[in-house]
Amino acid sequence: MKKSVLITGANRGVGLALVEVYLAAGWQVNACCRRTNHASELKHLQAHTDSLTLHELDVTDHQAITALSQELADIPFDLLINNAGYYGPKSYGFGNTDADEWRKVFEINTIAPLKLAEAFYPQLIANTPGIIANISSKVGSMTENTSGGGYIYRSSKAALNSVAKSLSNDLSPQGIISVALHPGWVQTEMGGPNAILSTCDSAQKLKTVIDNLTTKQSGGFYNYDGSVIPW
Closest to ligand NDP by CB, 41 vs 170, is 41
Q: How far is the CB of 161 from ligand NDP (least distance, A)?
A: 12
Q: How far is the CB of 17 from ligand NDP (least distance, A)?
A: 8
Q: How far is the CB of 53 from ligand NDP (least distance, A)?
A: 16
Q: How far is the CB of 175 from ligand NDP (least distance, A)?
A: 25
Closest to ligand NDP by CB, 92 vs 125, is 92
Separation CA 211–CA 224 (nearest Å): 12
Closest to ligand NDP by CB, 60 vs 172, is 60
Closest to ligand NDP by CB, 174 vs 208, is 208
Nearest Cα residue to 67 out of 55, 78, 77: 55
Please check whether residue 144 is in contact with residue 229, taking contact to mean a CB–CB distance below 8 angstroms.
yes
Q: Print burial letters for 171-209: b (CB count within 10 Å at least 16), e (below 16).
A: beeeebbbbbbbbbbbbbebbeeeeebebbbbbbbbbeb
SS3 of 136-193: CCHHHCCCCCCCCCCHHHHHHHHHHHHHHHHHHHHHHHHCEEEEEECCCCECCCCCCC
Closest to ligand NDP by CB, 50 vs 189, is 189
Closest to ligand NDP by CB, 33 vs 124, is 33
Environment class of 26 (CB within 10 Å of its CB; exposed 0-12, middle 13-18, buried 19+)? exposed
Q: How far is the CB of 91 from ligand NDP (least distance, A)?
A: 17
How many CB atoms lie under 10 A from the CB of residue 104? Answer: 17
Q: How far is the CB of 194 from ligand NDP (least distance, A)?
A: 10
Nearest Cα residue to 77 out of 22, 35, 33: 22
Q: Which residues contact 58 (CB under 8 A, 6 or more apart)?
A: 34, 64
Chain residues binding ligand NDP by CB under 6 A are 8-9, 11-15, 33-34, 58-60, 83-86, 108, 135, 137, 182-183, 185-186, 188-191, 195
Q: How far is the CB of 60 from ligand NDP (least distance, A)?
A: 5
Closest to ligand NDP by CB, 155 vs 188, is 188
